[in-house]
Amino acid sequence: MPAGSGDSGELGTGGTSQSNIPVAVSGGLTFSHIAAGTSYSCGVLVNGSAFCWGTGGGGQLGNGLFGSSLTPTPVLGDYTFTRVTASSQSGASCGILTNTSALCWGDGNIGQMGSGVNQIVATPTAVAGGFSFQTVATGSQHSCAIVAS
């Protein structure tokens, strides 16, 4: 349950108010993992589907659009995630799938999505290299990961 600033909808309550106490994310969703970025958040449901909400002008919500959402919106694709990340307002989001591959979406203008292409993408894009990932982290202009080997 999130708390704090909700100016950009990053609490996922359907509004832009802050909260000094934990509040439920809209939609009655049950999350197994959640990540909070600067002005947006992402989470993985118990069934492995991913949702993001808040500021999305840079494609970081992964829903195929370049716009914000005050409530959780599904990340496009028929993927089963174990973890997701959220970064700065204009950064990239990434997720690790149950098969240990990774996908990223959002601002990849300087290569931070690891796809080999420098562009902004509003849908999940495969990380290059065929690695098996244990974890991934995203910053405002970079991403890092730990591989199984």
Q: Which residues pair with 35 in a beta bridge?
A: 42
Q: What is the pLDDT of residues 30-69, one digit of tens each?
A: 999 999 888 899 999 999 999 999 889 999 999 999 999 9
Cα dihedral across residues 140, 80, 119, 132: positive or negative: positive
**Tens digits of residue pLDDT in 96-137:** 999 999 999 998 888 888 888 899 999 999 999 999 999 998
Q: Taking the model in full, what pTM does it have?
A: 0.91
Separation CA 19–CA 110 (nearest Å): 35
Distance CA 142, CA 54 (A): 20
Element (H, E) at 108: strand 102-108
Residue 105 burial (C-beta neighbours within 10 Å; 0-12, 13-18, 19+): buried
